[in-house]
Amino acid sequence: MSATSPARRLHMLLRPTATSASNFFLNKSFNGQFTAVVGLSSSHKVDQQYVSWTSTRRNYSTKRDDVVDVKEVIIPVPWGHIAARHWNGSDPTRKPILCLHGWKDNAATFDTLFPLLVPELPQYQFLAIDLPGHGKSSHFPPGMIYSVQDMWVAIRRILKHFDWKRISIISHSMGSQISFSYSGTHPEVVEKLVTIDALSPLVLSREETISMIPKLTSDILKFEHKLATGTRPSYSYDDIVAKLVKTHVGGLDAASCKKLMTRGVEEHPPGSGMYQFTHDIRVHYMPVTGISSRQVSFIARNFKSDILNIKATEGVNYTRPYIKTRIEDWLANGEDGKPKGNLVRFVDVEGNHHLHLINPVSVLPYIVRFLDHEKHHVQNHLHQKKLRAAHDKNFKN
């Protein structure tokens, strides 16, 4: 009997079912190995499986010295500006990727990932923005409140500013909820979507909606009073680091907090040694503008974009069980149950809600493969699936 190759043994071991086949792909890991992943949705009740074998590939986890250019850019908008960091943007012909951060974060959430990611994908330019009311971007005028709908309009403004007709998106947390709805309602615009530890917008129960609205209307007026009277609290540097570590959703270490603080705090007044957060306190209620589960299904069914959803094993669970068990099907198949032809990838990665910031190499191989080589591996897997089906048929006969 001839020796079986490692790849063949792998395919035999991880033989996917018909329902899970769409979630299989190979990944180049960052310890000099390849990793094969079968990502199964929660409805399958099966843990994710990993099998590795040694490879002589270069170790990509080391920070590259040939990182392409990165510069600060300002995008004018009617109420002020949207601030951003533009990676690899010197050549406007490179394919654009818009990058959206999470709630009360800013563009610095990608500052540990992109020095590794950008050199691997030289065909792309990456625009990491501070969403309105966050980071170095302008706040809305007095009397206004923030909503997810405003963020959709901000995306359109950015596309118009750069004259981009088609984009891909990398997003985290609240940014993923924004990009999910935008991608599903603008399928001709978004080619590929990467979401990190979130996906669909919040779906609130009736009880949550009833209790949330009175609190929102009361607290917004309190926030406006603070803004008008200048009574927003200030902290010493050490205290504001400690406060961010203690209160940040999903858990952050001090080093990661300091990364976000490069855009997320400012000395106020200058030279005082006291600091304030730069985000508008009115964004506190922005993520609670949820939609219904039926609306989520309609948006997902309308998807044409390829999508990679990275779920942190110790992350924040935003998704209702009803949606969690169905959303992969909604994204991949039409109302008639037939595949739409887009790639849908769900993977679990060890880490907490900010795994892309704290340990960027944990998500890096998934994103590189998805944006660069994914179709090749999917086509190869489908070919292998056909060969296995033919083998099974012949064996039964």
Which of 29, 41, 173, 305 is catalytic? The answer is: 173
**Among residues 64, 70, 68, 65, which one has the least CA distance to residue 30?**
64
CA distance 313 to 355: 10
Residue 321, preceding peptide bond in cis (omega within 30° of 0): no
Q: What are φ and ψ of residue 137, in 5° steps?
A: -80, 155
Q: What is the DSSP string of 11-42?
A: HHHT---TTTGGGEEEEE-SSSEEEEEE---G
How many CB atoms lie under 10 A from the CB of residue 305? 24
Length of the chain: 397
What is the identity of the amino acid at 138? S
Which residues are 96's β-sheet partners?
125
Between the CA of residue 270 and those of 163, 233, 261, 262, 275, what are the distances in Å? 38, 15, 16, 15, 9
Order the strands of the 274-277 sheet from edge to edge: 235-236, 274-277, 265-267
Question: CB of 96 within 8 A of CB of 252?
Answer: no
Taking alpha carbons only, the member of 97, 168, 217 closest to residue 342 is 168
Residues with Cβ within 8 Å of residue 260, at least 6 apart in sequence: 105, 106, 108, 109, 244, 252, 357
Q: State yes or no: is 173 an active-site residue.
A: yes
Residue 272: both structure tokens together:
């005082």
Q: What residues are annotated to the active site? A: 173
